[in-house]
């Protein structure tokens, strides 16, 4: 094939697509011994699933269904949903939004592609701008989204060891604001800041203070702050610590229906100033005409009638919060006398383990685990925009704990065994 620059960049094999192929093959295999702790799939929570299925049945027999499946929506996305969401957010947070502050697309992955390439890459004046991740590690899905080369730069975190004397060895990444400020000051080629909160892969939730400081820096440099809220408030609400959801016209807040258990309905949401939402609508128009209608249509009534947020508060959040406690308990038991640290579990559904004195890299651990049919994600993939060979990058792994206790225990025990043998 004689490919364009776009074609050759986007068809190039990369580490993460190889990893996702491994995970996909494992998921489709009939091998009963497979222990799947990789991937970002949410759990199927029976109570939540049955609410969505029953809502879908109601939608299918309603007069609306012809419109939902037969007509194109607005390029910014389904209007009824955007109005209902704007009203709900105003009710809860008093942000003064209307439907033109909200844009939809087919999953937030698609929204990030558009946002990153709107604010970074080759600029109209010939300069080249980058997206700055103020707190590495970050969501691996961002890594290959740039239309031009060298689009991402990240700041190494400060590492705080928590409760050094306690039995549970935990740590937390915090933003190194000196380094963020220095990068912004020295490099006028930053087009936007982006942070996931809760963070995939670590389960970190940056504090309100950290968020406010990033917001001030973004305003000072007149660049947007993109906050990826795929796991956060108000839905799905997978946050187990105090955190305030913040928005203003310089913040681009991204949300998703995926982690509610609706990943297949491919609905991503952007809340931003109207100029940005209009731009997203224009891009939708040329790329996809209009986003998928089914996800938004399914949830509009539940949003209006307050059922969705109740479901998140009463079922989704407690479900994952219980899983997080099980995960911490297993970690404390299995790694009690090992030099392994767990990132403080504050949100989402991932454990991030740091093997401080590891004799093998996380990639080697991944390969050895794969031979035993245990799948995790090796951590170096998440250090997007950190090009040096920082040792810490190769000492961490991500585990999805949205599974049953027996599977998680088997996986963690196999990890311990392999690290002991190394």
Q: Give contact residues for ligand PLP (rule: CB under 6 A).
A: 40, 107-109, 139, 141, 196, 200, 228, 230, 256, 258, 263, 268
Tell me the C-alpha distance between 268 and 119, whole Å: 19
Q: Which is nearer to ligand PLP, 107 or 281 (CB)?
A: 107
Q: Which is nearer to ligand PLP, 170 or 229 (CB)?
A: 229
Q: Which is nearer to ligand PLP, 153 or 230 (CB)?
A: 230
Q: Which is nearer to ligand PLP, 189 or 287 (CB)?
A: 287
* Helix, coil or strand: residue 256: strand
Q: Which of 250, 114, 255 is nearest to 193 (CA)?
A: 250
DSSP β-ladder status, 350-355 and 396-400: antiparallel
The b/e string for 139-152 (b: 16+ C-beta within 10 A; e otherwise) is bbbbbbbbeeeebb
Tell me the C-alpha distance between 288 and 380, whole Å: 33
Tell me the C-alpha distance between 49 and 52, whole Å: 5
Which DSSP state fits 16? H
Helix axis angle, 362-371 to 405-421, nearest 10°: 120
* Helix, coil or strand: residue 56: helix
Cβ of residue 71: shortest distance to ligand PLP, in angstroms? 23
Q: In this chain, which residue has its C-beta nearest to ligand PLP?
A: 107
Tell me the C-alpha distance between 108 and 200, whole Å: 14
Tokens 């209006």, located at residue? 304
Q: Which is nearer to ligand PLP, 107 or 411 (CB)?
A: 107
Cβ of residue 201: shortest distance to ligand PLP, in angstroms? 8
Cβ of residue 395: shortest distance to ligand PLP, in angstroms? 22
Measured from the Cβ of residue 203, the count of other Cβ atoms closer than 10 Å reads 28
Q: Which is nearer to ligand PLP, 106 or 361 (CB)?
A: 106
Cβ of residue 130: shortest distance to ligand PLP, in angstroms? 19
Q: Which of 149, 376, 370, 114 is nearest to 252 (CA)?
A: 114
Cβ of residue 107: shortest distance to ligand PLP, in angstroms? 3
Cβ of residue 267: shortest distance to ligand PLP, in angstroms? 7
Cβ of residue 358: shortest distance to ligand PLP, in angstroms? 25
Q: Which is nearer to ligand PLP, 253 or 418 (CB)?
A: 253
């Amino acid at each position: 094939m004689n490919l364009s620059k776009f074609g050759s960049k986007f068809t190039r094999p990369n580490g993460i697509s190889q990893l996702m192929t491994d995970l996909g093959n494992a998921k489709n295999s009939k091998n009963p011994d497979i222990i799947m702790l990789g991937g970002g799939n949410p759990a199927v929570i029976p109570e939540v699933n049955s609410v969505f299925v029953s809502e879908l049945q109601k939608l299918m027999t309603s007069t609306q269904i012809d419109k939902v499946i037969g007509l194109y929506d607005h390029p910014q996305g389904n209007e009824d949903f955007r109005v209902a969401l704007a009203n709900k957010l105003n009710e809860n947070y008093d942000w003064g939004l209307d439907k033109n502050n909200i844009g939809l697309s087919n999953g937030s992955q698609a929204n990030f592609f558009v946002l990153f390439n709107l604010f970074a890459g080759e600029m109209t004046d010939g300069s080249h701008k980058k997206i700055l991740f103020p707190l590495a590690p970050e969501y691996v899905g961002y890594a290959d989204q740039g239309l031009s080369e060298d689009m991402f730069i990240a700041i190494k975190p400060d590492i705080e060891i928590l409760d050094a004397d306690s039995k549970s060895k935990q740590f937390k990444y915090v933003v190194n604001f000196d380094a963020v400020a220095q990068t912004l000051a020295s490099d006028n080629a930053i087009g936007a800041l982006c942070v996931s909160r809760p963070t995939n892969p670590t389960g970190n939730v940056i504090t309100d203070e950290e968020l406010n400081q990033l917001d001030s820096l973004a305003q000072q440099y007149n660049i947007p702050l993109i906050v990826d809220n795929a796991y956060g408030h108000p839905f799905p609400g997978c946050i187990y610590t105090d955190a305030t959801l913040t928005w203003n016209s310089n913040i681009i807040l991204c949300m998703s229906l995926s982690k509610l258990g609706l990943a297949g309905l491919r609905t991503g949401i952007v809340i931003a100033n109207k100029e940005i939402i209009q731009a997203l609508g224009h891009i939708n128009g040329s790329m996809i005409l209009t986003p998928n209608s089914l996800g938004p249509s399914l949830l509009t009534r539940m949003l209006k009638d307050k059922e969705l947020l109740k479901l998140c508060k009463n079922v989704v959040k407690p479900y994952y919060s219980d899983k997080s406690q099980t995960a911490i308990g297993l970690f404390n038991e299995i790694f009690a006398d090992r030099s392994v640290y767990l990132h403080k579990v504050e949100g989402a559904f991932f454990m991030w383990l740091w093997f401080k004195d590891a004799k093998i890299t996380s990639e080697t651990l991944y390969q050895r685990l794969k031979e035993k049919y245990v799948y995790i994600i090796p951590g170096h993939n998440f250090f997007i925009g950190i090009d040096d060979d920082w040792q810490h990058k190769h000492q961490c792994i991500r585990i999805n704990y949205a599974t049953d206790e027996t599977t998680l225990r088997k996986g963690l025990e196999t990890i311990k065994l392999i690290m002991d043998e190394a």
